[in-house]
Amino acid sequence: MDFNLPEESRMLKDTVRRFVDNELIPLEQKLVDRQNTFDLPDDIYRELSAKVKDMGLWAWGAPEDVGGAGLSPLDGCVVIEEVYRSTVGRSIFAPRFAPVLYELGTPAQKEKYLLPFVNGDLNAATAFSEPQAAGDLAGIKTTLEKKADGWVIKGNKCWITGADVADFILVLTRVKGTERHDGMTWVVLDKDTPGLKIGREQKMIHGRSTYEVFLDDCTVSKEQILGDPGQGWGAGNIFLHAGRMEIAARGLGVADRCQEMSIEYAKQRQTFGQPLSNRQAIQWMIADSAMEIHATRMMVYDAAWRATQGEDVQQQTAMIKVYSSEMVGRVVDRAVQIHGAAGLSDETILELCYRDVRPMRIYEGPSEAMRSMVARGLLR
């Protein structure tokens, strides 16, 4: 049994780490006034985007046949883990892939929406969460009804990231009269679709706002329906499983950087004539973080390797989503404690990391829902 990464994955990991260390981390203090870790000044965004494209890692999550890098789930986790060691450049390494469009879209739909999105020429948002169905994908109420002049959509969505700048939105609906998993259907809506309205801004703890989306009798043609009506559940699950794996890798990257900072600071900071690293309380914090990071990395790499082999990893992605998102919260908290007042200030990236990681336990399925999923799978 070999627990080492394949040689190509190790080379990829080293390449991205050098890029993060040399290009991204030096920018952190220059961008200290940012409200969130996804916004970059236009000039820096363009410069870094060009470098990532030169590396061949633009749209890393998209298959090669639509212009992406075509990375495997394992290599995708390796890349995201390294990228999230810095608070700069996360938007550059965004997945830029829409699995529901790839799985269900016609050649014409892919040509119009998916290819420009992967290339960076269009922005997109995905809308499935609703006021009464955020953690329960099958509980959505937004309806899709066949009329003489097309299909009519009624409902509203919330917590939609990027809706304000999206050129098109992928909306999860259900055929009117169906319940739970039956009748679920994805629809692609252009931003100027009549009846589509972007509602109030919902400001979030990590600084990256989400938005309400209102669908008031939106009438669309069959060309806007992805696949056949009722095919939405499977494609939606593909989206969520990939998202949960990515969040787990994000947690690893943030935790790894905060642990590095804790070790360095503990060796340099003097209190009462001794470095913090001499104190058992600090040593135990660092040791606990090291053990949790190691355990998480083994779980994440295992799930990603299984996904790369084509295995069903629904249980594994639920497990790593919970474990990594809760682990990184503890690691960042210890790092803040070790740094003291400096950890609460903008003199380090820790307060930004602290805000970044708290939502990880909620989006793409809260920890409680993931635990229930794991338990149901075991007890079935």
Task: Supply φ then ψ for residue 180, to 5 degrees.
Answer: 50, -125
Burial zone of 342 (CB within 10 Å; 0-12 exposed, 13-18 middle, 19+ buried): middle
Distance (Å, whole) CA 70 – CA 105: 18
CA 28 from centre of chain: 21
- Give the burial string for 274-304 (b: 16+ CB within 10 Å, else e): eebbeeeebeebbeebeebbeebbebbbbbb
The encoded tokens of residue 178 equal: 């169906």
Is 364 tagged catalytic?
yes
Tokens of 279: 């104190």
Question: Is the Cα dihedral 82, 86, 89, 91 positive or negative?
Answer: positive
Catalytic residue among 82, 130, 246, 364: 364
**Alpha-carbon 294 to chain mean position:** 21
Size of the chain, expressed as the number of residues it contains: 380
Q: Which one-letter amino acid corresponds to residue 282?
A: I
The token duo for 23 is 């290009």
Question: Catalytic amino acids?
Answer: 364
